[in-house]
Structure 1
Amino acid sequence: MATNLYIVYGGQSAEHEVSLKTAMTVLQAVDRSRYEVRPVYITREGLWCAPWPLEGELTQPEQLRRMPEHTSKAASIGAILAEMGEQPCVVFPVLHGPGGEDGTLQGLLELAGLPYVGNGVLASAVGMDKLMTKRILETHGIRQARYVELRQQRWETKREEALQELEQEIGYPCYVKPANLGSSIGISRCADREQLLAGIELALRYDAKLVIECEIVGREVQYAVIGQEEPRCSVGGEFIREPDFFDYDKKYVQGGLVQQIPARLTPELDEALRETAIRTFRALDGAGLMRIDFFVTDDGRAYLNEVNTLPGFTAISMYPALWRETDGIAYTELIDRLIALALTRQPLLRQEVLV
């Protein structure tokens, strides 16, 4: 019996549209002769739509929107999970942000006993939370930008005190980021107090917990990691672009980005960053895939910027491009490898041992 491949996409996060772009690219590339492909759309309201057989060509993300059969989240989720559990399957989540990349979906799939592509509950939850990622990597001696945490409650009750601390500890320019979000949504570069106030208000629209970092002037270099017990790291890559803030619009709307692979690094620095990427993957208990980004200054100092436990697979995404340039792995083969890894890591629901 052919394995059913459920591509789960959409979701309630601010990265809903990015997820549709990723899903379309994956669905266009997957080998339909090897799998029975079943897309599963999650609406912005969190309703799961019935899987549908993929037929014909996909040309735009709008084709992936469906209408739910149920009016409650619980009923829709239960119906889809019951269908998945009746036959051999693997789930490929391509939901970005909270509700898909943060361990909540992974925990649901673990409880249902369904194999899935990508990181487990722990790595997904920690990797989504920028503050937790930073704290864990600090214990491993991995260099990062100086940062402070800001909670919404403190901002509302002790605003002036918080501002003074931010200006003293971080200064300008700085970056304000929601702790749990990706694709540069809700992030602001702030050069003075007026911009800082606006940046904090924007970020609090997406999360009650923020990260404020000092600016590192340098190029962003990205690495792709794949595997489980013996992970492998790609060569580094970067986008050739102006040295300003790489926001959502520049990433996904304007286009025209040019990838430089390998990145413009000395062999020694490239090797050191690959080793650090592997250390990061293991420190976070990674599995399947992860993209790890660094800032590299003109004098060759590197700072870990962030990790992405479910990196994008759009036409301009760096993760698949890095493996193509490292090992010659085509997009379709990369999907096959990730699915194979998922099938070797079955969900483990351990029973209590009575002595």
Structure 2
Amino acid sequence: MKTNLYVLYGGKSVEHDVSLKTACTVMNAIDNSKFELYPIYITRNGIWCTPNKLKHEGIAINDLIAFPSHESEAASIGQVLIHQLSLPGLKVVLPLLHGSYGEDGTVQGLLELLNVPYVGNGVLSSSLTLDKAISKQLLAQGGIHQVQYAVYRYDQWCEDHESLLNQVETKIGYPCYVKPASLGSSIGISRCRDKDELITGISEAFKYDSKVVIEREVIGREIQVAVRGNEKPIASLPGEFIHNHVFFDFESKYMDKSLTMSIPAQISEEITLRIRELAIQAYQMHSCSGLARVDFFLDGENQLYLNEINALPGFTNYSMYPVMWERTDGTKYSELVEKLIDYAITRHAEKQSIQYTR
């Protein structure tokens, strides 16, 4: 009997389009002899709806777009739950929602209430990893080396611009990076070389979040490593993108056709081992399960800095995460998706043994 696979994508997030690319790639890789595919599109306004039945191969992004029959989130979610998720048989949910209202624990909480297995990180790990400010505090408590940073709230910015700017110039210096605390895909991030650019960068970041993280620039390389698994996670060989950009922003990541991957990254065996160990340590500190990508900076003196953890990394054929696994242990894209589904089913089955009454 086929497993009913419900794929959530789109979402009320500035990373909506990134989610569509991920979903399109994943759904084209699904083995239709094993899974019955049920796509669930979430509009930019948060309305849940289902597209027409998809063809078995050659799915395009436009095929994934649907038009809602309800105007409210509650009614649309209710309709999907009644007509889709209530179908009989083994079911698994595959949330491919990047950023807000998808990668932050909100959808995961709903799926926990529905008591259905779902791929990827749980409520706590999703919210922890998306909030860079909280994640950095957790990493600091664990003694993991990071770049010098500061966190500010929007109310602090409104109350005293000058004091905040002076603190950044004194503690962080230039160049520095300003980031929304809870967002990915390099959206809303600015590289600031002076006070005017810092003001502009802070204003830009606050468009996307009520909290910002400001970090000192590290001159060096950005090394990534993929992690997967539940209680006993494993880490891939590290990789890096080869590029000439001073600032690896959204356009550089998604529009630059000249990007090349170096997997494994050209680093020593000692640093490779250390990166893999730190990645697993950070993964477990955040209670991650299923998958995550951990990013590091490596400076000219071979000093490592853990940059951030991404609980739902890019997952297209050209994304670093799946390619790292293929070059580490030969796991093909479609096999990787099935492994992640297996992790979800195993985790859910184990949770059923927990007692909730006395």
Indicate the TM-score class for this superposition, using the shorter chain for normalisation. Answer: over 0.9
Q: Map Cα deviations across residues 34-77 of structure 1 (whole Å, 9 max, x no partner).
A: 10011110000100002643214435422211111221100111
- For 1:32, the aligned partner's letter is N
Aligned to 1:245: 247
Q: How has the CA–CA distance of structure 1 residues 264 and 352 changed in structure 2, closer, same or farther, with 3 Å as cutoff?
A: same
Q: Aligned pair 1:94/2:102, yes or no? A: no
- For 1:163, the aligned partner's letter is L
Q: What's the Cα RMSD here? A: 1.4
Aligned length, in residue pairs: 354
Q: Map Cα deviations across residues 194-233 of structure 1 (whole Å, 9 max, x no partner).
A: 1001101110100010000000111000000010111000
Does the 8 A contact of 2:4 with 2:35 survive in 1? Answer: yes
| Residue 10 (structure 1) shift | 0.1
Does the 8 A contact of 2:238 with 2:264 survive in 1? Answer: yes
Give the fraction of aligned pairs with identical amino acids, expressed as a percent: 50
| Residue 99 (structure 1) shift | 0.3
1:353 to 328, 336, 357: 357
Does the 8 A contact of 1:40 with 1:52 survive in 2? Answer: no
Structure 1 distance, partners of 2:179, 2:297, is 16
| Residue 258 (structure 1) shift | 0.3
Determine helix, strand or coil for the equivalent of 2:258: coil
2:266 to 258, 264, 267: 264
Structure 2 distance, partners of 1:64, 1:150, is 38
Does the 8 A contact of 2:103 with 2:126 survive in 1? Answer: yes
Q: Aligned pair 1:129/2:131, yes or no? A: yes
Q: Map Cα deviations across residues 240-279 of structure 1 (whole Å, 9 max, x no partner).
A: 1115111111111233210000001100110011000000
Aligned to 1:140: 142
Structure 2 distance, partners of 1:25, 1:257, is 19
The gaps in structure 1 that reach 5 residues or longer are none
1:77-226 equivalences in 2 (<5 Å): 77-82=77-82, 83-87=84-88, 88-226=90-228
Bigger mean CA deviation after superposition, 293-302 or 180-189: 293-302
Structure 2 distance, partners of 1:91, 1:255, is 32
Q: Map Cα deviations across residues 285-308 of structure 1 (whole Å, 9 max, x no partner).
A: 010000000001121111001110
Determine helix, strand or coil for the equivalent of 2:251: helix
Q: Aligned pair 1:7/2:7, yes or no? A: yes
Aligned to 2:237: 235
1:274 to 256, 273, 276: 276
Does the 8 A contact of 2:15 with 2:98 survive in 1? Answer: yes
- For 2:144, the aligned partner's letter is I
Determine helix, strand or coil for the equivalent of 2:323: helix
Q: How has the CA–CA distance of structure 1 residues 44 and 101 changed in structure 2, closer, same or farther, with 3 Å as cutoff?
A: same
Bigger mean CA deviation after superposition, 138-147 or 53-62: 53-62
Does the 8 A contact of 2:32 with 2:56 survive in 1? Answer: no
Aligned to 2:20: 20
Structure 2 distance, partners of 1:134, 1:227, is 22
Does the 8 A contact of 2:317 with 2:323 survive in 1? Answer: no
Determine helix, strand or coil for the equivalent of 1:230: coil
Bigger mean CA deviation after superposition, 183-192 or 343-352: 343-352
Does the 8 A contact of 2:51 with 2:65 survive in 1? Answer: no
Structure 2 distance, partners of 1:63, 1:167, is 49
Q: TM-score scaled by structure 2?
A: 0.96
Structure 1 distance, partners of 2:258, 2:26, is 21
Aligned to 1:284: 286
Q: TM-score scaled by structure 1?
A: 0.97
Does the 8 A contact of 1:24 with 1:58 survive in 2? Answer: no
Aligned to 1:293: 295
Q: Aligned pair 1:48/2:52, yes or no? A: no
Q: Map Cα deviations across residues 58-104 of structure 1 (whole Å, 9 max, x no partner).
A: 35422211111221100111221233133221001111001000000
Bigger mean CA deviation after superposition, 117-126 or 31-40: 31-40
| Residue 352 (structure 1) shift | 4.5
| Residue 159 (structure 1) shift | 0.7
Structure 1 distance, partners of 2:343, 2:61, is 27
Q: How has the CA–CA distance of structure 1 residues 102 and 26 changed in structure 2, closer, same or farther, with 3 Å as cutoff?
A: same
Determine helix, strand or coil for the equivalent of 1:275: helix
